[in-house]
Amino acid sequence: MRRGTLSILLVALAVLLGLGGCATVQQARAVGPGAKLDPWENWNRKVFAFNEGLDEHFLRPVATGYAKVVPQFVRRGVDNFFSNAADAWSVVNNILQGKAEPASQDFARVLTNTVFGFLGVLDIASEMGLEHHYEDLGQTFGRWGFGPGAYVVWPVLGPSSVRDSIALPADRWLASPAGYINDGRWAAGISALQLVNTRANLLGASALLNDIALDKYSFVRDAYLQRRRSLVYDGDAPPTPDPADSPDEPASEPAGSQPPAAPASAPAAPSAPASAASAP
């Protein structure tokens, strides 16, 4: 079942990458600042609108109810439980990125919280002063030098990029407790809880977003790309060129100097990758 999903995704990706080839040709002609990063904007906007509808009519009401009904300390426990799995996946990715110190700290976190914190429900490690170093496979690829490629919006899963989409199956399954459970019904239940929990955490951010974005689609896109870039650089990304400081020439930045990043909270993405839920 999982293998099936994976192969579908891989095929989808192959198609996307193929499209990417054609899209590059068009990019050169496109003008808007977003055009280069978002050659599939028309399609992406449709998926985005679909996700927005899903969020408005289903996910947000459910998450709002969840946040109202479930006591704060229970929600905290649920959140910690998912963070613990994200920490475990971070250990792997810190190792893949050659970050020994963060890897060992995250390892200590997982060990402590799993053993003494009831499978991660209590975050004892944080109280001991051990901090998160969230890393996912998308960030690992970025660290290895892969640019984000084109922006992609997935149904239900929300904002992504070509690079992050390749990492997505692993980042969704291996960073979630659902990935380690064999019983399909339990796994589905846990995935659903994770989705609701993530969305509930983003209620404030998404309300704010509605207020401040002129065009929600491009705001979310640019924020997603900026944030992901920032995460690849561990919060210390070199600045991108400021068009106001450059000569009056449209779209003349050196190619490849535009790896944007993105927002964590991609509020629009009901289910931003697991890391988004907790990763600052």
Partner 1 sequence: MLLFKRFVPWLTAALIAAGSVAAHAQAAKAPDVLIKEVSSDVLDAVKADKSIKQGDVGKVVALVDAKVMPHVNFQRMTASAVGRYWRQATPEQQKRLQDEFKILLVRTYSGALAQVQDQTVELKPMRAAATDKEVVVRTEIRGRGDPVQLDYRLENTGTEWKVYDINVLGVWLVENYRSSFAQEIGSGGIDGLITKLAERNKAAKS
Binding site for partner 1 (CB under 8 A): 31-34, 132, 204, 207-208, 211-215, 218-219, 221-223, 226-231, 235-237, 240, 242-244, 246, 248-250, 261-265, 278-280
Q: What 8-state DSSP symbol labels residue 44? A: H
Q: CB-wise, 120 or 263, nearer to partner 1?
A: 263
Q: CB-wise, 60 or 227, nearer to partner 1?
A: 227
What is the C-alpha separation between 264 and 270, in angstroms, rounded?
Answer: 12
Residue 184 in tokens: 């399909």
* SS3 state at 158: strand
What is the C-alpha separation between 254 and 225, in angstroms, rounded?
Answer: 18
Q: Which amino acid is at 270?
A: P
Q: Least distance (Å) from partner 1 to the CB of residue 153?
A: 15
Q: Least distance (Å) from partner 1 to the CB of residue 223?
A: 5
Q: CB-wise, 195 or 266, nearer to partner 1?
A: 266
Residue 146 in tokens: 């892969």
Q: Least distance (Å) from partner 1 to the CB of residue 74?
A: 15
What is the C-alpha separation between 87 and 82, in angstroms, rounded?
Answer: 9
Q: Least distance (Å) from partner 1 to the CB of residue 12?
A: 26
Q: CB-wise, 68 or 185, nearer to partner 1?
A: 68
What is the C-alpha separation between 206 and 194, in angstroms, rounded?
Answer: 17
Question: By C-alpha distance, which of 182, 163, 180 is closest to 273?
Answer: 163
Q: Least distance (Å) from partner 1 to the CB of residue 8?
A: 31
Q: CB-wise, 122 or 187, nearer to partner 1?
A: 122
